[in-house]
Amino acid sequence: MAVGEGVPFDDRGLAYGDGLFETVLVRDGVATLWEAHMARLARGCERLGIAMPSRSALDALPGRAGAGLRVLKLTLTRGSGGRGYRLPDSPAPRLRWRATPFAPSPERWWQGVRVRHCRLALGIQPRLAGLKHLNRLENVMARAEWQDPDVAEGLLCDSEGRLVEATSMNLFWRRDGRLETPGLARCGVAGTLRDGLCRRLGIQEVDAAPEVLEDAEAVWLGNAVQGLWPVHRLDDARGRMLACWRLGSVHRELQAEAHALLGYPRHAGEAGQRDEEDEA
Amino acid sequence: MAVGEGVPFDDRGLAYGDGLFETVLVRDGVATLWEAHMARLARGCERLGIAMPSRSALDALPGRAGAGLRVLKLTLTRGSGGRGYRLPDSPAPRLRWRATPFAPSPERWWQGVRVRHCRLALGIQPRLAGLKHLNRLENVMARAEWQDPDVAEGLLCDSEGRLVEATSMNLFWRRDGRLETPGLARCGVAGTLRDGLCRRLGIQEVDAAPEVLEDAEAVWLGNAVQGLWPVHRLDDARGRMLACWRLGSVHRELQAEAHALLGYPRHAGEAGQRDEEDEA
């Protein structure tokens, strides 16, 4: 089942990116981190002034996503409007969804990933920060900065040089024994996996320059669909290596917490995953 | 004739605002400032890496817009894509358009408008600056800051406090006898009317704080659909008056130039418009 009805020309999601989306990991009809997704959607609706769809309508969607592992993407727009930015007098928000089969990357879980810095710097916009809204051209342009399939993600700073996130994942690191993640009050998307980890583990939200990563004991990227990827190599925007890490138990501890939230294996031996060849 | 086919769920214009638009004033099938619109669309396509539709396909649209005064809105998206920000391997851009009847506001031309500052500050993003792309949530949120129908527009600064534009119009002023407009290298939309006026009159692009307006001899807002509105009153974001102007010949000079570009009356007596009651 993969329903994905479109929108008309005058839909404000199409016209202005005037709306929100969520991508949810669904396993045999059961959504993971569902309450966190619904809470973020509700925050977005409140911030943008869009009426939140009924919880009964939303809660019915994971069950319709089909068997096996799926990604349920739901898109909520302000609905149709006339020409111009002014809000419609009687907006009728439009909810659309599609579920597609999904397979995560165990190799990235267990062997880690190589990432690079992006040249693009995110604009600072506190009014939209944290939301998963439909204005994502910055992410699109940042993702277009590299083609090398060995590079799994690109890291983004804001226009004042602070670390924010990766193009589609949140960023975590450990230094001096403390877990940290960039604060997202100025820009970036507050991921639901990040939310879950911060609540469970008291991860500190900090303002940090990108150089902090080069001295970190461990670096990870994660989101609610892919799970948590340890970073084994960090490159600059020209592809030159800045730092590398040997994956170890420190990496696995946070990964186990993240994967417990998502129903993914907590270590390479679990659920028939391959062994961690690069670990002691 | 008002064609406005929609887009499917997986269209990247809907998913990410990954596309561009133009709104063109068309008079009896003849577009105004058409080459400027096409040039901006081409710049946007180049910057975003979207293939520009053929000029023959684009050039045919104004003639299909219908009789009388119309606004032709055309939307170009990157087309359908899979989940994720990465560009599709073989994107097929999607061009959609709609023409709607339009009536400008002679009262705003001849009596001028009241405008206010917005609280929202535009994020700085040089990679997207100047383009008329589909990521317009900032404009939507800024336009939602006021309901008073007597306030015609809201002025926007960037996150570092420089004047940029109004929510849907460009901004011009005169001080010490010189015409100026904000530079748009960091954010904002480079309007086609602005482009035409800058070329004809050598208007200076400057970085300026909002206070510059309070000392200006004249202030205007303009775009390629509405024409040029002189500002008679400027309010702060709480609605308190910061400055007011008596409209005079200085205002009319720039207006006549703008309206010549758009085929609008160059003074209130022309084409049966009402007299300028508030002028000497």
Q: Give the pLDDT confidence of A13-31 residue by residue, as tens digits.
A: 999 999 999 999 999 999 9
Q: How far is A82 from chain B (nearest CA, A)?
A: 10
Q: A122, A134, A165: which to substitute to probe chain B, counting the most B Cβ within 10 Å?
A: A134
Q: Which of A12, A100, A143 sits opposite B85 (nearest CB)?
A: A143
- State pLDDT tens for residues B136-167: 999 999 999 999 999 999 999 999 999 999 99
The lowest-confidence range among A36-40, A75-79, A274-278 is A274-278
**Strand B113-122 relative to strand B151-158, pairing:** parallel
Taking CA–CA distances from A47, the nearest residue in chain B reads B141
pLDDT given for residue B269 in this prediction? 82
Q: What average pLDDT score do residues B38-51 get?
A: 98
- State pLDDT tens for residues A33-53: 999 999 999 999 999 999 999
Based on the number of CB atoms within 10 Å of its own CB, is B243 exposed (0-12), middle (13-18) or buried (19 or more)? Answer: middle
CA Rg value for chain A: 19
| Assigned CATH topology for domain B12-101 | D-amino Acid Aminotransferase; Chain A, domain 1 (3.30.470)
Give the ipTM of the model, two decimals please.
Answer: 0.94
A17 and B17: CB-CB below 8 Å? yes
A268 pLDDT band, cuts 50/70/90, is confident
Q: Where in chain B is the domain with CATH 3.20.10.10?
A: 106-272
Q: Tell me yes or no: is domain B106-272 CATH 3.20.10.10.
A: yes
Q: Where in chain A is the domain with CATH 3.20.10.10?
A: 106-265
- State pLDDT tens for residues A138-154: 999 999 999 999 999 99
Taking CA–CA distances from B23, the nearest residue in chain A reads A83
Catalytic residues of A: 23, 132, 165
Taking CA–CA distances from B9, the nearest residue in chain A reads A6
Q: Which of A7, A23, A85 sits opposite B6 (nearest CB)?
A: A7
A48 and B139: CB-CB below 8 Å? no
pLDDT given for residue A4 in this prediction? 60
Q: How many other β-carbons are positioned within 10 Å of the β-carbon of residue B54?
A: 10
Nearest 5°: the CA angle B130, B228, B196 is 50
Q: Where in chain A is the domain with CATH 3.30.470.10?
A: 12-101
A123 and B17: CB-CB below 8 Å? no
A14 and B18: CB-CB below 8 Å? no
Instruction: Compute φ and ψ for A82, nearest 5 degrees.
Output: -80, -175
Q: Which of A8, A98, A124 sits opposite B124 (nearest CB)?
A: A124
| Assigned CATH topology for domain A106-265 | D-amino Acid Aminotransferase; Chain A, domain 2 (3.20.10)
Q: How far is A119 from chain B (nearest CA, A)?
A: 10
